[in-house]
Chains A and B, each alone.
Chain A
Amino acid sequence: MPGRAVSRRTVVGASGSAALAALAGCLGPGSSSASAGAAPWPMQGHDAGRTNRRADADPPRAGVREVWRAELDGFGPPRNQPVAYDDVVVVPDRGLVAIDRADGSERFALDVGGTGLAVAAADGYRTSTLVAGGNRVVSGLDAAGGVDAGAGTRIAERWRAGDDDDGGLFGGGNAVLAGTTPVAVDGVVYHAAVDGAVVARDAASGRERWRYVGERGGWFFAVDERVYVAAFGADVRALDPADGSVVWRHRAGGDAPARWTGVAAADGDVFVNDGRGITALDATDGGSVRWRTDDGERTDVGTDRGVPTVVDDRVLLAGFDAVYGFDRESGERVWKRALDPAEPRHVAAAGDLAFVPTQDGQLVAVNATTGRTAWEFTRPDAWEAGPPVVADGRVYAAVGEALVCLEGSR
Chain B
Amino acid sequence: MTVTEAVREERDGRGDRDPADGTAADDGDGRDPDPSKPVRRAIGVTSRAPGHLLGFALAAVVVALADVARILDPVGNAIPDAIGSGVSLSVLTYPSGTRVAVVPPGAFVGLEPWWLVVALCLAAVGPVAAGVATTWTVARATRRSVTTERVLATTTYVAVVAGIWHASEWLAAVAPASVLPLLLVGTWLSARLFPAPALAAMDRSPLSAASEAYALTRGRTFGCLLSVVGAGTLGAVLANLPSVAAVSLDDPAFALGTALSYTFAGAIGAVAATIYAVEARQERRLARDERERRRDELRREQAGEGREHGDAAARTGGERRNGN
The chain A residues found within 8 Å of chain B, CB to CB, are 1-8, 11-12, 15-16, 18-23, 25-27, 30-32, 34, 122-127, 140-142, 144, 146-147, 149-151, 153, 155-161, 202, 204-208
* A144 surroundings in chain B (CB, below 8 A): 109-110
Shortest distance from the beta carbon of B262 to any chain A beta carbon, whole Å: 13
Among residues 212 to 256 in chain B, which have CB atoms less than 8 Å away from a CB atom of chain A? Answer: 249-250
Complex: A12 Cα to B135 Cα, angstroms: 12
Kindly report which residue of chain B lies nearest to residue A12, judged by CB atoms. Answer: B58
Q: Which of A21, A34, A126 has the most B CB atoms < 10 Å from its CB?
A: A126
Contact assessment for A205 and B76 in the assembled complex, using a CB-CB cutoff below 8 Å: yes
B72 at the interface (CB under 8 A from A): yes
* The 5 residue pairs across chains A and B that have the minimum distance between CB atoms: A3-B147, A124-B74, A158-B76, A159-B76, A127-B110
Find out whether the CB atom of A205 lies under 8 angstroms from the CB atom of B129. no
Interface hit among B24-32, B89-97, B112-120, B295-303 = B112-120
CB neighbours (8 Å) of A22 from chain B are 66, 69, 118, 121-122, 125
Q: Are B104 and A157 in contact (CB under 8 A)?
A: yes
User: Contacting A27 at CB < 8 Å: which of B72, B150, B170?
Assistant: B72
Which A residues are in CB contact (< 8 Å) with B106? 141-142, 146, 155-158
Are B69 and A125 neighbours in the complex by a CB distance under 8 Å?
Answer: no
Tell me whether A4 and B66 are in contact (CB under 8 A): no
Q: Which DSSP category, helix, strand, loop or mixed, fits chain B's interface? A: helix
A142 to B111, alpha carbons, bound, how many Å? Answer: 10
B174:A126 contact, CB within 8 angstroms: no
* A–B complex contacts, Cβ < 8 Å, 12 sampled: A6-B147, A6-B151, A11-B146, A15-B59, A15-B62, A16-B61, A19-B65, A31-B114, A127-B110, A147-B109, A159-B76, A205-B80
Q: How far is it, in angstroms, between the C-alpha of A4 and the C-alpha of B152 when the chains are bound?
A: 12
Return A252 CB to nearest CB of chain B, in Å.
31
Q: Is the CB of A204 within 8 A of B78?
A: no
Chain B nearest CB from A63 CB (Å) reads 40
- Contact check, B69 vs A161: say whether CB atoms are below 8 A apart: no
* Shortest Cβ distance from residue B115 to the other chain A in the assembled complex, whole angstroms: 4
Interface contact A26-B76, CB-CB below 8 Å: no
- Whether B292 is near chain A, meaning CB under 8 Å from some CB there, is no
Q: Which parts of B46-82 form the interface with A (CB within 8 Å)?
A: 58-59, 61-63, 65-66, 68-78, 80-81
B132 at the interface (CB under 8 A from A): yes
Candidates A6, A8, A12, A16; contact of B148 at CB < 8 Å: A6
**Given A19-B65, A23-B68, A124-B112, 9 additional A-B pairs, CB 8 A:** A1-B147, A8-B136, A15-B59, A16-B61, A127-B109, A142-B109, A155-B105, A157-B106, A205-B71
Q: A5-B145, A12-B58, A144-B110 are in contact. Are A124 and B115 (CB under 8 A)?
A: yes
What separation, in Å, do the CA atoms of A19 and B78 have in the docked complex? 20
With A26-B73, A126-B110, A142-B109 as known contacts, state yes or no: A159 contacts B104, CB within 8 Å. Answer: yes
- Complex contact B112–A23 (CB within 8 A): no
**Alpha-carbon gap, A167 to B23, bound state (A):** 66
Q: A23 touching B65 by the CB < 8 A rule?
A: yes
Interface presence of B5 (CB below 8 A): no
- Specify which chain B residues have a CB less than 8 angstroms from the CB of A1 in the assembled complex: 147, 149-150, 203-204
Structural contact, B107 and A159, CB atoms closer than 8 A: yes
Contact B147 A19 (CB under 8 A): no
Q: Which B residues are in CB contact (< 8 Å) with A16?
A: 58, 61-62
Which of A22, A122, A127 has its CB near the most chain B CB atoms (within 10 A)? A22
The answer to whether A18 touches B128 (Cβ under 8 A) is yes
- Which of B80, B115, B121 touches A161 (beta carbons < 8 Å)? B80
Is the C-beta of B173 less than 8 angstroms from some C-beta in chain A? yes
Q: Is B175 an interface residue (CB 8 A)?
A: yes
Q: Given A5-B145, A155-B109, A206-B76 in contact, is the A25-B136 Cβ separation under 8 Å?
A: no
A153 to B78, CA, bound (A): 19
A204 contact from B66, B76, B249, Cβ within 8 A = B76
Cα distance A4–B80 when bound, in Å? 41
- Contact partner, B65, options A20, A124, A155, A204, Cβ 8 Å: A20
Nearest residue, chain A, Cβ from B155: A15
Residues in B162-179 with C-beta less than 8 Å from chain A:
170, 173-175
Residues of A within 8 A of B149 (CB): 1-3
Q: In the complex, what residues of B have CB within 8 A of residue A150's CB?
A: 174
From A8, A147, A159, residue with most partner B Cβ within 10 Å = A159
B59 in contact with A31 (CB, 8 Å): no
**B204, closest chain A residue (CB):** A1
The reply to whether A19 and B66 form a contact with Cβ atoms under 8 Å apart is yes
Complex Cα distance A363/B191, Å?
64
Cα distance, A34 to B109, chains bound together (Å): 13
Bound complex: CA A360 to CA B149 (Å): 76
Chain A residues near B117 (CB-CB < 8 A): 25
Q: Are A19 and B109 in touch, CB under 8 angstroms?
A: no
Interface-centre pick from B72, B110, B175 (highest chain A CB count, 10 A): B110
Are B150 and A23 within 8 A (Cβ)?
Answer: no
Within the complex, the shortest CB–CB distance from A136 to chain B, in Å, comes to 15
Asked whether, in the complex, the Cβ of B146 is within 8 Å of the Cβ of A26, the reply is no
Asked whether A15 and B129 contact (CB < 8 A) given A5-B147, A25-B121, the answer is yes
A149 and B176 alpha carbons, distance in the complex (Å) = 12
Shortest distance between the CB of B169 and any CB in chain A (Å): 12
Q: Please name the residue on chain A nearest to B121 by beta carbon.
A: A22
What is the bound-complex CA distance between A315 and B81, given in angstroms?
38
A-chain residues with CB within 8 Å of residue B129 when the two chains form the complex: 15, 19
Contact across chains for A204 and B74 when beta carbons are under 8 A apart: yes
Note all chain A residues with C-beta closer than 8 A to B128.
15, 18
Let me know if B80 and A208 touch, CB within 8 A: yes
What's the nearest-Cβ distance from chain B to residue A201, in Å? 8
Q: Chain A residues near B74 (CB, 8 Å)?
A: 30, 122-125, 202, 204-205
